[in-house]
Amino acid sequence: MSDAWQLDLRSDDDTLTVVLAGSWRMAGRLPGSDTVATRLAAGVRRVRFDATALTDWDTGLPSFLAGVLKACAARGIAVDSAGLPAGTQQLLTLARAVPAQDLSGRGGRPAGICTQVGMAVLDFVRGVPAMLAFLGEIVQACGRLAAGRARFRARDLWLEIEEVGPRALPIVSVISFLVGLILAYLGADQLKLVGAQIFIADLVAIGMVREIGALMTGIIIAGRTGAAFAAQLGTMQVNEEIDAYRTLGISAIDFLVLPRMLALMVMVPLLTLYAGFIGMAAGLLVAYAIFDIGFFEYYTETLRALELKHFLVGLSKGSVYGAMIAFAGCLRGMQCGRSAAAVGHAATSAVVTAILLITIAASVLTIVYYQLGI
């Protein structure tokens, strides 16, 4: 047991004798079969084994031997395995009982970095039609919903609303408070130079309500809920639940995607509004405590700055971002493969897609609203 493995290769004109001795256990860092294979080149016709000095072994030995046998077979060298312990011979026979399948067209060599980048880009481009098809299905489902023919259970909608809304309040509060704080500091520092610190109120109010409230909420919900949607639908895909919907003629889009979409389109704007108020409260705190601006002064300045249109802009953005998150989450979930790894990939990919879509939408909407003078 204690003595380590020993491997000795003895050439005797055209016969190579593989002498195995000592303890061949996996714990002992066994040699690879290539140590033998390299010796097979020079005129060897026959391989024999001598295991008389072998003390004990585990499956590490047959694994090594299988490699040797394969190398011999590839070179057309005859093998006399009579010298091997009976147990290893049995295991080797068992391992040969089901020949390796020819699965050409699978796997292959790992591609170089350029190829991988190229493939990734191509995959993305090829993904666009699928995205559009999914969008089309959702639009159709919305049409059915408007006509009162789409069916999903109200309970699902309420569950999603609860999951997206109240449960997201703590994280949305914390983040929008801190962002409001940052905004106020940043603004105050600059405005101090021109002695116009009171305009912190305008900056924070308009900034939070119009842009940042929606953007922050969107990103939080993308990470929180978008990923959850993808994981839920992905797991259903793995369990063949989605197939079961399809074969029973029940639209998975109506049943699974619509409630999630609606929940987000309703709740993200509300959270946006809430984030705006929390951000303004943070701005007030900074202005009052650090920059010596009066409470009522700040309040009236905020009221003066805010107009209804700012709220409408914020709400509309929230709704669009909500739709984007639900779209990305459900799309990646429905496209999920049939394994645990695929579910993880779907969740990651949902967040990335959602944030990408949100950022694009944010830019487009900001430009459009500016051009329209809203």
Partner 1 sequence: MNAIPQIEVRELTVGYGDHVVQRDLNFAVNRGEIFVVMGGNGCGKTTLMRALVGLQPPLAGRVLFAGEDFWGAAEEDRRRLQRRLGILFQGGALWSSLTLAENVALPLAEHTALSAAQIDEIVAFKLALVGLAGFGDFYPAELSGGMKKRAGLARAMALDPEILVIDEPSSGLDPLTARRLDELIVELRDSLGTTVVVVTHDLASILAIGDNSVYLDADTHTMIATGHPQEALRNGAPQVRHFLTRGNAA
Torsion of CA 330, 334, 339, 341, to 10 degrees: -40
Which one of 241, 305, 352, 361 is in contact with partner 1 (CB under 8 A)? 241
- Residue where the block lists tokens 């259970």: 153
Q: How far apart are the C-alpha atoms of 137 and 254, rounded to whole Å?
A: 9
Closest approach of partner 1 to the CB of residue 167, in Å: 17
Q: Which residue from 360, 364, 215, 369 is spatially nearest to 307, judged by alpha carbons?
A: 369
The single residue among 34, 243, 297, 307 that binds partner 1, judged by CB under 8 A, is: 243
Residue choice 42, 97, 103, 125 for contact with partner 1 (CB under 8 A): 103
Helix 308-334 / helix 258-289 crossing angle, nearest 10 deg:
130
CB of 101 vs partner 1, minimal distance in Å: 9
Q: For partner 1, give the closer residue by CB, 32 or 337.
A: 337
Tokens for 267, please give them.
């709740």
Residue 331 near partner 1 by CB under 8 A: no
Using CB under 8 A, which of 10, 45, 246, 309 touches partner 1?
246
Residue 57 CA to residue 33 CA, distance in Å, equals 16
Q: Which residues make beta-bridge pairs with 6? A: 21
CB of 114 to partner 1, least distance (A): 24
Q: Count other C-beta atoms under 10 Å from residue 250's C-beta.
A: 14
The distance of closest approach from Cβ of residue 248 to partner 1 in the complex, given in angstroms and rounded to an integer, is 5
Using the minimum distance from each CB to partner 1, give the nearer residue, 45 or 149: 149
The number of residues making up the chain comes to: 374
Taking residues 136 to 175 in sequence order and writing x for each that binds partner 1 by CB under 8 A, - otherwise, the string is ---------------x----x-------------------
Q: Which is nearer to partner 1, 87 or 337 (CB)?
A: 337
Total of chain residues touching partner 1, rule CB under 8 A: 18
Q: Which residue shows structure tokens 């380590």?
A: 4
The minimum distance between CB 152 and partner 1, in angstroms, equals: 11
Backbone angles phi, psi at 173, to 5 degrees: -60, -50
Structural contact between residues 329 and 236, judged by C-beta atoms closer than 8 angstroms: no
One of 236, 306, 313, 328 touching partner 1 (CB under 8 A): 236
Which pair of tokens denotes residue 297? 């002064």
Question: Residue 110 and residue 166: Cα distance in Å, rounded?
Answer: 46
Footprint of partner 1 (CB under 8 A): 103, 105-106, 151, 156, 235-236, 239-241, 243-250
